[in-house]
Structures are given as C-alpha cells and as structure tokens.
Amino acid sequence: MESEKAIEVSGLAKTYKKFLAVDHVDFDVRRGEIFGFLGPNGAGKTTTVRMLTTLLEPTEGSIRINGYDVSRQAYHAKRQFGVVPEESNVYTELSAQANLLFTGRLYRMPRGERERRTTELLKLFGLEEKQDVKAQFFSKGMRRRLTIAMAMMHRPAILFLDEATSGLDVQSARTIRDQVRQLSENGPTVFLTTHQIEEANQLCDRVAIIDHGKIAVIDTPEHLKAVFRSVQSVEVAFDRKDPGHRDALGMISGVSTVVKHGDKYRLYSDDLSAVLPEVMDYAHAKKLRIITLNTMGPSLEDVFLQVTGRQIGTVRHDPADKSLGRGSGKGRKGGNR
Amino acid sequence: MSEESRMDRIRGEFSQAWALFLKDVRTYYLTPPMVMWGLALPLFMFFSFSVRRGLAPQTGIARLLALTTFFTASSAGSVIFPLERRARTYDRLMAAPMALITILLSRSSVGAFFAVGISLLSLLTGWALFGASVAQPALLTVAVILSAYSFSALGILVASGSAQSPGQIMMPSTLLRWPLLFISGIFVPLDRMGVWARGVSYLSPLTYAQDLLNHAVLGTGVQSIVLDVAVLALLLILFLGGASKLQRRSRKLGY
Ligand SMILES: Nc1ncnc2c1ncn2[C@@H]1O[C@H](COP(=O)(O)OP(=O)(O)OP(=O)(O)O)[C@@H](O)[C@H]1O
Ligand SMILES: [Mg+2]
C-alpha cells in the first residue's frame, strides 16, 4: 500500500488525566520532506512523536504512516519508521556494534545485510574506533550518534527525531544536523522536533509551530522568516525611571510595540540595526545612562502569539499550568521575563 | 510492498524472540540483582528452613526445586522490566515490528531458563552429594519447565505496572511471594495440614508446583498430576494475559 503522504494525522488529541497535552492537531507530511515541529518546552512535541510511533495511545484521532493505520495495522506501520527519542536509549551493557546488530535482528534483517549495514553506520557516525566499547562508557554525543544510527539501521522510510541535538555542544549539534540533511537527500522522510528556531530554519522544508498542544501555523521557513523577524527585539534599561520612556521609545521609527518588563523596555522591530542608534540618541538627549542593552532573537512564545494574532507581550502564560510531569525540569525559558 | 505470508510472519516473530532472549541472557544473567534475588535468596530459604531438620535427600531435592523455580524464575521479570523502562530501552521493543506476546514469551523464557539451569545444578549437587535419585525423570522435566514458566510469568505480571526501578518492584513482589510461599504446601506437606490450612494452601501456585515435583522426584503426591499440570498451565496463561493488559494500559497512561 503506497501513499503520497508519509504521515497523515487528523484530529489527534491526547489527554493525560484531565490535562489536554495535544489538542486535536491535523497535518500531513509529504514523502521525502524534512518536516519540523517547532515549539517551546511542554508544547506537546514529544507526546505527538510518541503517538506517531505507537508508544502512546492517542485519546482521539487517527494516524497513518505510509498509508498504514497505526492502531489497526501496527505491525506494518512499525516497519516504516525508526525513532530517535528525546533521551538517548542505547543498551548501555552492549557495545556500539552489538547495539546495531541487535537492532538489525529486531527488524528481521538477514545476517549479511545486518553486518554490512552495521559497518557502514559505525563509519558514517564516526564510531568505528569505539565499536567494541560498551555504550555505558560513551559520552553524551556518542550515545546520541549511536541512537540515530540504530534508528537508521533498517533503512526506514520515515525517521522520527525528537530533539536530535538537545544537550550537545555546538560542534556535535552541527555534525548531527549536517548528517540529517545528508541522510535525507535521497533517504527517508524526516519528522523532527526542536525548540530552536535556527535549527528548524536550517533543516526543514516545512515547519509547524506548536504550543499548548495546538498547531498555530504550518509553513516554509522562508515564509516564516518574516514572522520571526517581526518579533525580534531590543531590550533596554535606563538608570532613571520615568513613565514617559515608554511612549518616547514607541515613537522611534520602525518600532512596532514596546513592552515593559520590570525596569526593562522591550522594543519589537523587524529592523534592529535602525532602532539601536535611535535608542542611544534618546538616552543622550535625556542624559540617561543605559544599564542594559540587549538584542533579543525571536522567542518562540512571541512567534506563537504573533501567528495566532494575539498581541505580543500582552499574554503571559501561567507557568503553573504546564509544569507537571516530564517537561517541567527545563521550565519555560522564553527569555521574556 | 510485498505482503509477507503468515508463515514468514511467524518465523520472524520467533527469530525476534530468540534475538531478544540471547541479548537478555547476555546482559542480565549473573548481574547482581539476578544473583541476589534469583540465586542467593532461594538457597538461603532452603538452608534456613530445611537442612537443619535432617531432611531425607529426595524430599530435600523436591523442595529445593520448588524454591528455585519459584524465586529464580519470578525474579527475572521483576529485574529486567523496570531496568529497561527506566533506561527507556523498552520503547525499542514496543516500537519494533513484533507482537507484545512475542516480547512477553521471550522474557518469560529468560526467567524460566535461569530457573531451569539452577534447578539442574541443584539436582546434580543432590545426586552427587547425597545420591538422591528421581522417580520419573520425564515428568520432572515437564514439571520444572512448566513451573518455571508460570512463575516467570508471575514476575512479569508484577513488573508490568508503572514502577521504573527494580527496587520499587522488589518490595511488592516480595510482599506477594512470601505469603504465597508460607501458605503453600512447601514446608508442611499437604497431607499433614489441617483442613483450613490445606484450603488456604490451594490459593498458592506453589502448592501445585510442589505437588507435581513430589510426583516426579518422590513418585508420590497428594493431588492428581493432571490437576497440577492444568492449574500451572492455566496460571501461565492468566499471568501473561494480565501482564499484556497492564502493559496496554500503560501505553494509554503514557509511562
Ligand atoms: N506521562 C505524562 N503524564 C502527565 N502529563 C504529561 C505526561 N507526559 C507529558 N505530560 C505533559 O504534557 C505536556 C506536553 O509534554 P511534552 O513532553 O509532549 O512536551 P514537549 O513539547 O516535548 O516539551 P520539551 O520541549 O520540554 O520536550 C506537558 O505539559 C507535560 O507536562
Ligand atoms: Mg519533548
């Protein structure tokens, strides 16, 4: 059963106890594309991936993987994909090589192919020298690479990557991104999640922005760039407080919104380079000393508000409503406070 | 995509079960928790309750076999499942194209064969040191394997809840197993129990295993062999069915 679409999702929802973690989302992923789920901590990305990969049963909705319904044709659906979960889950008691060989057996690969593919992947992911070392002695980055290699073992048609680069240093993250891009050239369809706008922009053909379990928009990075630009900001604080600052700063040309956070003002604009000198001039003219001056990249929360048409800076989420369970450790670091 | 035939599908499940079995044996046999709960504990139980009372070698062997199948087999599941859930490697099995029952049967075999191995050692030791002999070797083979599978499935059932470390499982698992041990006909033979005690002893799966082993080793038992075998087989099915239900439920709850 071949299908045009690699993944078809409709009306997908998940409720934990009474908490709605994924709120009736619909989307399709085309064959061969890299599709990204971009959202802040607790948005519902992992929950969605776990449902797509049969590890979690949806409360509502349907999922087709390469045309196979995951609940009714689980066996066939499972043969279509490989998963890289949020936390690397290699068998720490086994060597890198044994991990790959075992995965090959779980996917019923014939022995010869299993061995060939293992050698190939160890090389591709730079693990040949450590192939006989138990994975418990691996660094985080090596475990990540091994986890990805294991997901690729049976040459899946679809690869799920949940935060492929989280917790890695810049260099390792870049290596992994390069590999994902290369792999997908003539390889699998990729579904990835990330909370980094840059990563989504660099890798994805299309991006879905998700928060609070809802998809706000699905579009190409090119189109989304305009949105991202409009929610960059300059953050400034002066030594003297004056209620007049806010209006004065709002008059600067190119500034779309000014939001006050504590003693700081945040000026949103799609052309920060023009705004910065004007802020300096204002400080000069008023004989103010600048205490803080930061340029802020787009924060996901702001992007989300922007595309859902709510006003930036006006709606703050109560962190308490989302801080239960696994997502909580990282908290919401929108950079907005 | 070519459709696999039913035969290919079944053969595939067998090869996956075998691969998983080999991996588990390689990874978990002789790890500290397995040795502790599966080997040291039954031996300790045996020596503290039996040896001092100057038991006849054959009765001793039958009892030791019951103890090892019970404790050794049921430990494996209680050790492996929580470890793999915590390391999230269990997700690998759940996402692989194989049936849940294949995973459960493969895992039952891991505990069962550990217990069969230990039983064989006990038997050889008993034979070498005390010259203990076995009345019905063929029946003994069936008895040991069947009890080992039932008790291994019991261990899996207990471990199929939500707990993520063997410590969290071992408490309830021990709380369940010790009463089952003490109400069973293992330390006091069934025919010497009062009516009430005997009635209660029928609630423990161990009673049937001990009786079956008595038939095999001593050549005499209190109940019919058919009843013992039927109860143990039924329990095996119930334990596996229960485990599968619990695991499906946890796929809904999300742990
Ligand atoms: N097993 C669970 N039980 C109860 N609530 C849960 C469970 N798993 C997740 N949640 C909640 O569901 C929401 C979505 O969580 P999820 O892990 O899908 O977020 P995420 O987008 O992957 O976040 P992160 O970027 O932090 O990984 C969170 O509020 C989380 O607390
Ligand atoms: Mg996540």
- Environment class of residue A53 by beta-carbon count within 10 Å: exposed (0-12), middle (13-18) or buried (19+)? buried
Cα(B99) to centroid(ligand 1), Å: 27
What is the pLDDT, as a whole number, of residue B109?
A: 96
Task: State whether the Cα torsion A79-A83-A89-A95 is positive or negative.
Answer: positive
Same domain, A77 and A179: yes
Same domain, A243 and A167: no
Q: Would residue A193 count as lying in a domain?
A: yes
Q: What percent of chain B has a predicted confidence (pLDDT) above 90?
A: 38
Domain tally for chain A?
A: 2
Q: How far apart (Å, rounded) are the C-alpha atoms in residues B71 and B208?
A: 15
Rounded mean pLDDT, B120-148: 87
Rounded mean pLDDT, A112-136: 94
Q: Would residue A108 count as lying in a domain?
A: no
Using an 8 Å Cβ cutoff, are A299 and A231 in contact?
Answer: yes
Same domain, A66 and A181: yes
Cα(A321) to centroid(ligand 1), Å: 12
Same domain, A26 and A175: yes
What is the pLDDT, as a whole number, of residue A215?
A: 93
Q: Which of A55, A199, A209, A326 to mutate to test the pocket of ligand 1 (most atoms within 8 A of CB)?
A: A326
Find the CATH number of the domain harbouring A270: 3.30.70
Ligand closest to the CA atom of residue A43: 1
Helices and strands, counts by H and E, chain A: 11, 14
Q: Would residue A319 count as lying in a domain?
A: no
Residue A333 scores a pLDDT above 50? no
Q: Give the pLDDT band of residue A67 (cuts 50, 70, 90).
A: very high
Task: Tell if the CB–CB gap between A54 and B94 is shorter than 8 Å.
Answer: yes
* Residue-number span of the structural domain to which A285 is assigned: 229-297
Same domain, A20 and A36: yes
Same domain, A206 and A238: no
C-alpha dist (Å) from residue A151 to A71, A99, A164, A250, B32? 21, 11, 12, 51, 30
What is the pLDDT, as a whole number, of residue A321?
A: 36
Same domain, A218 and A235: no
pLDDT tens-digit map of A288-316:
999 989 888 877 777 777 777 666 654 44
Q: Would residue A97 count as lying in a domain?
A: no
Q: Would residue A112 count as lying in a domain?
A: no
pLDDT tens-digit map of B207-247:
899 999 999 988 888 889 999 999 999 999 999 999 999 99
Of residues A65 and B76, the one with the higher pLDDT is: A65
Looking at the partner chain, which of A57, A76, A87 has a beta carbon nearest the beta carbon of B251? Answer: A57
Helices in A93-134 by DSSP H: which ranges? Answer: 96-106, 111-124
What is the pLDDT, as a whole number, of residue A336?
A: 37
Q: Chain A neighbours among B 57-116 (CB < 8 Å)?
A: 87-89, 91-99
Distance between B3 CA and the closest CA of chain A, angstroms: 10
Domain ranges of chain B: 3-252
Q: Would residue A23 count as lying in a domain?
A: yes
Same domain, A156 and A293: no
Same domain, A44 and A167: yes
Pocket of ligand 1 (CB under 6 A): A 16, 19, 21, 39, 41-47, 86, 195, 322, 324-327, 330; B 254-255
pTM of the model: 0.84
Chain A residues within 8 A of B97 when measuring between CB atoms: 75-76, 78-79, 107-108
- Environment class of residue B6 by beta-carbon count within 10 Å: exposed (0-12), middle (13-18) or buried (19+)? exposed
Q: Give the pLDDT band of residue B47 (cuts 50, 70, 90).
A: confident
Q: Which chain A residue's Cα is nearest to B85?
A: A89
Distance between B1 CA and the closest CA of chain A, angstroms: 7
Same domain, A85 and A207: yes
C-alpha dist (Å) from residue B45 to B33, B41, B42, B128, B182? 17, 6, 5, 21, 11
Structure tokens at B52: 């001092």
Same domain, A57 and A196: yes
Task: Tell if the CB–CB gap between A83 and B19 is shorter than 8 Å.
Answer: no
Distance between B91 CA and the closest CA of chain A, angstroms: 7
Q: How far apart (Å, rounded) are the C-alpha atoms in residues B11 and A174?
A: 42
Find the CATH number of the domain harbouring A45: 3.40.50.300
Cα(A64) to centroid(ligand 1), Å: 22
Same domain, A285 and A147: no
What is the pLDDT, as a whole number, of residue B15?
A: 95
Q: Would residue A129 count as lying in a domain?
A: no
What is the pLDDT, as a whole number, of residue B164?
A: 67
Cα(B129) to centroid(ligand 2), Å: 59
Nearest-CA residue for ligand 1 atom 12 is A21
Q: Would residue A104 count as lying in a domain?
A: no
